[in-house]
Amino acid sequence: MSNANFKTWLHEIIFGTEPGPGRNFDIFLIVVILSSVAALFVDSVASIHQRYGDFLFGIEVFFTILFTLEYGARIYCSPNRRAYIFSFYGLIDLLATIPTYLSIFIPGAQHLLVIRVFRVLRVFRVFKLFHYMSEANVLLRSLLASRRKISVFLVSVLTVIVVFGALMYLIEGPENGFTSLPRSMYWAIVTVTTVGYGDIAPHTPLGQLVAAMAMITSYAIIAIPTGILSAELIQESQRMITNRQCVNCAKFGHDKEANYCKHCGEKMPPPQ
Amino acid sequence: MSNANFKTWLHEIIFGTEPGPGRNFDIFLIVVILSSVAALFVDSVASIHQRYGDFLFGIEVFFTILFTLEYGARIYCSPNRRAYIFSFYGLIDLLATIPTYLSIFIPGAQHLLVIRVFRVLRVFRVFKLFHYMSEANVLLRSLLASRRKISVFLVSVLTVIVVFGALMYLIEGPENGFTSLPRSMYWAIVTVTTVGYGDIAPHTPLGQLVAAMAMITSYAIIAIPTGILSAELIQESQRMITNRQCVNCAKFGHDKEANYCKHCGEKMPPPQ
Amino acid sequence: MSNANFKTWLHEIIFGTEPGPGRNFDIFLIVVILSSVAALFVDSVASIHQRYGDFLFGIEVFFTILFTLEYGARIYCSPNRRAYIFSFYGLIDLLATIPTYLSIFIPGAQHLLVIRVFRVLRVFRVFKLFHYMSEANVLLRSLLASRRKISVFLVSVLTVIVVFGALMYLIEGPENGFTSLPRSMYWAIVTVTTVGYGDIAPHTPLGQLVAAMAMITSYAIIAIPTGILSAELIQESQRMITNRQCVNCAKFGHDKEANYCKHCGEKMPPPQ
Amino acid sequence: MSNANFKTWLHEIIFGTEPGPGRNFDIFLIVVILSSVAALFVDSVASIHQRYGDFLFGIEVFFTILFTLEYGARIYCSPNRRAYIFSFYGLIDLLATIPTYLSIFIPGAQHLLVIRVFRVLRVFRVFKLFHYMSEANVLLRSLLASRRKISVFLVSVLTVIVVFGALMYLIEGPENGFTSLPRSMYWAIVTVTTVGYGDIAPHTPLGQLVAAMAMITSYAIIAIPTGILSAELIQESQRMITNRQCVNCAKFGHDKEANYCKHCGEKMPPPQ
């Protein structure tokens, strides 16, 4: 097999998602990623670390060598190496290997090992594998389409949080746990998102009244992002937006009955 | 009455849901199931168990004999016995009886008795009884239709949880209750779902900042499944409106509860 | 003024909601109701009760006499007295007066006084006053239209709660606060509804895993009622259901373009 | 430059949002506002205040002079000064400056300084700057359009809260933390909004049963505002689709982002 042929063959296996070697490789990879993350989880429990720490470190070194080989192979068979290295997945793939090497050479870098957990982000490749990309894209497109509304919502929420935080700092004061404005804001976020740890809670009657008002406000607030996204998802499904693409401006988002591109006015090819 | 006739008659009573003996049997059965579950609940309270334990055990034995007879009758009159025994309800029906027998013969199997609570799953038969199956099916169909979107959502949520859990383990550390990665992930789930027990809560300012970010993220996250299901349910109800057609004037646009065509007054066929 | 005329005049004032005396009476009544509830609230604070208890009891007696007179007047001028007395509002109106009389004649009935708080239910009359009945009816009709789906949802949720409660009772046991099945179910409800007091929380790793699964489940669960109601409200607003009523079967729910009643097939009068 | 010209030029810079000096001024202003709020936050932490208190007070004085100059300039160049001074933003702009002056002249007014945090409300100008006003308006219009439904919802929620609060006061009583009706209502709000601090929690079995019922109720309640707003936002986006008409082929059904008619390819007028 020639060098170029070998590269193409390797590329198909590593980057491909078609049934056959490409798919098998991806399934194997996801099993390996999840196993290595599981090992990290188990190793972080103090009692297990004391008894099986050395064994788990051996497993970790084995996984790291595997990931290093994979990373090398990905760079080797990429048609555009620079693009892969600086892509989102390229950086995550690199992050999957370096912490282990650093912990060997730099003694104080023990706690850097937790970064290896971000390997879990590589699991998103699973969507590509099972042809779930279109569902993921619908959700992403809906989120993107409503990004302006969500920005307005977030700015409003943060303002509400600052105002309620400042009010409670004024009313409750340091003697009731609201020791500073940042801490009051932390309380406000915990309350408005309805998490409600209870580590900081109002003690004065006036503080409880203002807190109650913040909670009632949070009701209206929760309704807003849900409403925005519901409206967007319904529009998405009603417009029956297909995969039709304009031949002139290459944009998507055309419905079944469109004869002309709504973005540039070009004649659309008939729907398949 | 011949043997075959008796079987058919018994089958109609036990498996049937039509008004008459079949329906009465089912209503009686649901009352018995709920009574036996209520007895289990009451018996689990220590002070009641001490005083009325023997009496409640008697009731339990009575219910178990009843359920055993019913289970035997169901097997006897099933046209396809194997299919019933290994069906979901068949297994639940069996589970309703064996723990009591085990607790008599094996002395250490006391805590197995809690399994009897799963009898409550038999209550789902109530939907069939009151013709609520179509509503249950609409909900199930909507959940199934959006199972890919929900999978994408769950994988994304779990990744967000792992990332936030690892970050907090790094920032807060064992001295603030984040003793291991699994425990940090437990904290992340408690926070992102807005349950917020407060048994583990961030103590450092940086940890509180990251926790606040996790809570704001959970806002967007809660909106996603609601949006998905709303869109699906709306489509479901609109599909029904658009699919019904008048046999006289051939017009569409009839809603679920229409008995007569609103355009020409013709009797409508029942919705499918 | 004759007796019958006086009755009609009184009826218009007390039961009427038109601008003029009828409306003014209702506004005055709501102010009185809210004042009497506010007095109850203030009186329940121990320190205030000690200082102003006698004064607040005087106010309470004054309000009770007012409510008694109003109740008498309502009975007097009702065309159908029995219907009013046994209506929802009639019973609430009665409940607004008797606890005070009982507390005077029966010394031990002090804590019955709290029942007076239910006077607040009379405030719902405010909807009639400000012509908000149609909005209240849309919400009620949507809730009623989806009552079957909501029943299915509630039965499913209660089953999920019983199953998770029993599992946690088995796993955590009395030594971790799960002292009985009812208490475990209380924990399950606190968790699945994302309230999360933290008074009972899992301590064992397995218990925390099951609790985490219950929380993730609660995500899907929260989406269901919201989806149901959103779909119903959207349908309601899209069908543009008017106040058109069938002259034959007297049913509502007809859209703008309906020529025939969808319930009985009768010809509809043209829309106004 | 004449006086009138100078005024117009200043007005364009301060009140304008067009690219160029007007936009740059606004961006600069928002940076200054956020910096001054950040300084307030940092200063409220006791340890930082002790070490850098004098330095941060200097910064505060600097920001106050800046805001005073800006406030003066805004009054100076407003065509209708009275309208500006008594507008929402005019009052917020004034509130941004006076607390610092008061704290200099009145020694006891230290805690008034927190009012300066409300400067953050000026940040809403950012929407105007980035042409997000239309998104903010859609959200506001949807909230306004559903204000009657939301009023009905709020009155119902408050009544539910009063009823559950009174019930728990009756059942649990002062010995379990429900010391007064207002405090019981605070508990009810914390519970129904699913915040759940856990600072007050039911201890008696009956109290826990009623609390569980309140939580299940809160499920249905959360669904209502979300459903209302979803329905409104969907209608809003559909109205826009149905209202746009092609000037060439007179067909409808164009979505918000369409530049060309999808039926005939004609250039579309911009959406209103």
Which of C180, C192, C229 to mutate to probe the B interface, most B CBs <10 Å? C180
User: Is the CB of C197 less than 8 angstroms away from the CB of A198?
Assistant: yes
What tokens were used for D40?
């307030």
DSSP assignment letter at C109: G
Nearest CA in chain A to B152: A136
Which bin fits D251, alpha (ψ -120 to 50), beta or left (φ > 0)? beta
Q: What pLDDT sits at residue A69?
A: 92
Contact D194 B194 (CB under 8 A): yes
The per-residue pLDDT for A222 is 77
Q: B153-184, pLDDT tens digit by residue? A: 888 888 889 989 989 998 998 889 899 889 99
Q: Per the CB < 8 Å rule, is A194 touching C194?
A: yes
Q: Report the pLDDT value the prediction gives residue B212, as an integer from 0 to 100.
A: 93
Contact A186 B211 (CB under 8 A): yes
Which residues of A fall within a CB distance of 8 Å from D41?
180-182, 185
Cβ distance of C198 and A194 shorter than 8 Å: no
CB D22 within 8 A of CB D16: yes
B111/B197 Cα distance (integer angstroms):
28
Choose the weakest-confidence range: D88-97, D142-151, D248-257.
D248-257
Which tokens sit at B136? 């249950």
Closest residue in D to B227 (Cα) is D230
Confidence category of residue C98, pLDDT binned at 50, 70, 90: confident
Given a contact cutoff of 8 angstroms between Cβ atoms, the answer to whether C234 and C246 are in contact is no
The CA-atom distances, in angstroms, between B244 and each of A23, B253, B255, B270 are 44, 7, 8, 9
Helices B133-145 and B205-243, packing angle to 10 deg:
120
Partner residue facing A195 (CB), from B191, B226, B231: B191
Euclidean distance between CA atoms D17 and D7, whole angstroms: 16
Neighbours of C202 (CB within 10 A): 24
pLDDT given at position D72: 92
Please answer whether residues A118 and A197 qualify as being in contact, where contact means their C-beta atoms are separated by less than 8 angstroms: no
Predicted confidence at residue D111, as pLDDT, reads 66
Task: Give Cβ neighbours of residue B104 (< 8 Å, ≥ 6 apart).
Answer: none
pLDDT digit string, tens, across residues D101-141? 887 777 665 566 777 788 888 877 776 666 666 777 777 88
Residue C268 contacts residue C259 (beta carbons within 8 Å): yes
A121 to B163: CB separation less than 8 angstroms, yes or no: yes
Q: Return the residue matching tokens 């429990």.
A: A45
pLDDT of D213 reads: 92
The tokens describing A272, both together, are: 């398949």
User: Tell me, what amino acid is at B64?
Assistant: T
Q: Quick one: tokens of C179?
A: 């002292």
Assess whether pLDDT exceeds 80 at residue D219. Answer: no
Token code pair at residue D73: 């300039």
Cβ pair A93, A74 in contact under 8 A? yes
pLDDT of A253 = 65
Contact B60, B100 (CB under 8 A): yes
- For chains C and D, CB pairs below 8 A equal 135
Residue D186's pLDDT is: 93
More confident call, D268 vs A10: A10
**Cβ(A10)–Cβ(A16) under 8 Å?**
no
- Percent of chain D at pLDDT > 70 equals 87
Which domains does chain B show, CATH number per domain?
3-128 (1.20.120.350), 138-240 (1.10.287.70)
Q: Using an 8 Å CB-CB cutoff, list residues of chain A that contact chain C.
A: 194-198, 226, 230
Q: In this predicted model, what pLDDT tens digit does every residue of D183-199 receive, in sequence order? A: 999 999 999 988 889 88
Q: Which of B142, B147, B148 to mutate to test the interface with A (most CBs of A within 10 A)?
A: B148
C-alpha to C-alpha distance for C229 and C155, rounded to whole angstroms: 17
Which pLDDT tens digit goes with each residue over C102-130?
A: 877 776 656 667 777 888 888 777 777 66
D195/C197 touch (CB, cutoff 8 Å), yes or no? no
Rounded Cα–Cα distance for residues A244 and A254 (Å): 6
* Inter-chain residue contact B198 with D194, CB threshold 8 Å: no
Whether residues A117 and B162 touch (CB distance < 8 A) is answered with: yes
Q: Three-state DSSP class for B253?
A: coil
Substitution target from C148, C152, C172, C203 for chain B, most B beta carbons within 10 A: C152
Closest CA–CA distance from residue B203 to any residue of chain D (Å): 15
Query: Which residues on chain D are in Cβ contact (under 8 Å) with A223?
Result: 225-226, 228-230
CA distance D219 to C218: 11
| pLDDT tens digits for range C138-172 | 778 778 877 888 888 888 888 889 989 989 998 99
3 state DSSP class of C267: strand
Which range has the worst mean pLDDT, A133-142, C8-17, C181-190? Answer: A133-142
* C196: chain A residues, CB-CB within 8 Å: 195-196
Residue A181 contacts residue D40 (beta carbons within 8 Å): yes
Please name the member of C46, C193, C230 whose beta carbon is closest to the beta carbon of D219.
C193
Task: Identify the CA nearest to C235 among candidates B233, B19, A107, D67.
Answer: B233
Chains A, C: CB contacts within 8 A come to: 9
Sort out which chain D residues have CB atoms less than 8 A from B197's CB and list them.
Answer: 198
* 3-class secondary structure, B54: helix
Region C172-186: mean pLDDT is 90
What secondary structure does DSSP assign to chain A, as a single string?
Answer: --HHHHHHHHHHHHH--STTHHHHHHHHHHHHHHHHHHHHHHHTSHHHHHHHHHHHHHHHHHHHHHHHHHHHHHHHH-SSHHHHHTSHHHHHHHHTTHHHHHHHH-GGGGGGGGGGGGGGGGGGHHHHHTT-HHHHHHHHHHHHHTHHHHHHHHHHHHHHHHHHHHHHHHHT-GGGT--SHHHHHHHHHHHHTT----SS---SHHHHHHHHHHHHHHHHHHHHHHHHHHHHHHHHHHTT--S---TTT------TT-SB-TTT-PBPPPP-
Read off φ and ψ for residue C267, nearest 5 degrees: -65, 130
Q: 10 Å Cβ neighbour count for C251?
A: 15
Interface test mutation site (partner C, options A42, A230, A232, A233, max chain C beta carbons within 10 A): A230
**What is chain B's pLDDT, residue by residue, as a tens digit (272 residues)?**
677 888 888 888 888 777 788 888 888 888 898 898 898 888 888 889 899 988 988 898 899 999 999 999 999 988 888 998 998 888 888 888 888 888 777 766 556 667 778 888 887 777 766 666 677 777 788 888 888 888 888 888 888 899 899 899 989 988 898 998 899 999 999 999 888 898 899 999 999 999 999 998 887 777 788 888 888 887 777 666 556 677 777 776 666 667 777 777 777 776 65
Under an 8 Å CB criterion, which residues of D touch B? 194-198, 226, 230
Chain D neighbors (3+ CB pairs < 8 Å): A, B, C
pLDDT tens digit sequence for D2-50:
778 888 888 888 887 777 888 888 888 888 988 988 988 888 888 898 9
Distances (CA, A) of B13 to A204, B21, B33, B120: 63, 6, 17, 21
CA angle B201, B204, B206 (to 5 degrees): 105
Position C84: which residue type? Y
Mind telling me how many Å the CA of B41 is from chain A's nearest CA? 30
CB contact (8 A) between residue A226 and residue B228: no
Question: What's the full length of chain C, in residues?
Answer: 272
Measure the CA–CA gap between C121 and C143, rounded to whole angstroms.
20
What's the rounded Cα separation, in Å, for the pair D44 and A23? 57
Average pLDDT over residues D247-263: 70
Query: How does pLDDT run along chain A (272 residues), one tens digit per residue?
Result: 677 888 888 888 888 777 788 888 888 888 898 898 898 888 888 889 899 988 988 898 899 899 999 999 999 988 888 998 998 888 888 888 888 888 777 766 556 667 778 888 887 777 766 666 677 777 787 778 778 888 888 888 888 899 899 899 989 988 898 998 999 999 999 999 888 898 899 999 999 999 999 998 887 777 788 888 888 887 776 655 555 677 777 676 676 667 777 777 777 777 65
Mutate to test the interface with D, among C135, C153, C155 (most CBs of D within 10 A): C135
- Helices and strands per DSSP (H, E), number in chain C: 11, 0
Helix (H) or strand (E) holding C155: helix C147-171
Whether ipTM exceeds 0.90: no
Question: Residue D230 and residue C230: Cβ atoms within 8 Å?
Answer: yes
CA distance C182 to C204: 20
Q: Letter for the amino acid at D102?
A: L
* Highest mean pLDDT: which range of A241-255, C80-94, D252-266: C80-94
pLDDT at A72: 92
Per the CB < 8 Å rule, is B227 touching A226? Answer: yes
Other CB atoms within 10 A of residue A261 CB: 25
Look at residue C121 and give its three-state secondary structure: helix
> Cα separations (Å) of B201 from A189, A195, B211?
14, 11, 9
CA C17 from centre of chain = 21
Q: Is the dihedral of CA B237, B238, B241, B245 positive or negative?
A: negative
Q: Give the per-residue pLDDT at C9.
A: 86
